[in-house]
Amino acid sequence: MTILAGVSVLLLFSCSNPFAERTSESIGKDSVILSDILKQVDSIAGWSQIDFEKLGIIAKMAYADTANFMHEKIYPCAKCFLRPEAAAALIKAADIAKKQNLRLVIYDCYRPRVYQQKMYDIVQNPDYVAAPGNGSKHNRGLAVDIALADASGVLLDFGCAFDDFSEKAHYTYQGISEQAKSNRKKLRDIMVEAGFEPYKNEWWHFNYSTVSYPSDDFLWNCN
Ligand SMILES: [Zn+2]
> What's the CA gap between 213 and 76, in Å, rounded?
24
> What's the CA gap between 9 and 32, in Å, rounded?
15
How far, in Å, is the centroid of ligand 1 from the Cα of 97?
Answer: 20
How far, in Å, is the centroid of ligand 1 from the Cα of 33?
Answer: 24
- What are 185-221's pLDDT values in tens digits? 999 999 999 999 999 999 999 999 999 999 998 888 8
SS3 (DSSP) at 37: helix
How far, in Å, is the centroid of ligand 1 from the Cα of 138?
Answer: 7
Given this model, what pLDDT does residue 39 score? 58
- What are 24-77's pLDDT values in tens digits? 333 333 443 445 555 555 557 889 999 999 999 999 999 999 988 888 888 889
How far, in Å, is the centroid of ligand 1 from the Cα of 98?
Answer: 23
How far, in Å, is the centroid of ligand 1 from the Cα of 15?
Answer: 33
Give the bridge partners for 147, in sequence order.
Answer: 105
What is the domain partition of the chain in residue ranges? 47-215
Please report, for residues 51, 141, 202, 214, the alpha-carbon distance to residue 190 in angstroms, rounded to integers and kept in the order given: 19, 19, 16, 27
Q: Select, from the ranges 9-18, 109-118, 185-194, the one with the highest average predicted confidence (pLDDT).
A: 185-194
- Answer whether 103's CB lies under 8 Å from 111's CB: no
- What are 131-186's pLDDT values in tens digits? 777 789 999 999 999 999 999 999 999 999 998 989 999 999 999 999 999 999 99
Could you tell me which CATH number the domain at 47-215 has? 3.30.1380.10
- Answer whether 77's CB lies under 8 Å from 90's CB: no
The set of residues, in sequence order, having a beta carbon less than 8 Å from that of 35 and lying 6+ positions away, is: 10, 14, 20, 23, 24, 27
How far, in Å, is the centroid of ligand 1 from the Cα of 6?
Answer: 26
Please report, for residues 94, 105, 163, the alpha-carbon distance to residue 191 in angstroms, rounded to integers and kept in the order given: 9, 12, 19
> What's the CA gap between 108 and 125, in Å, rounded?
19
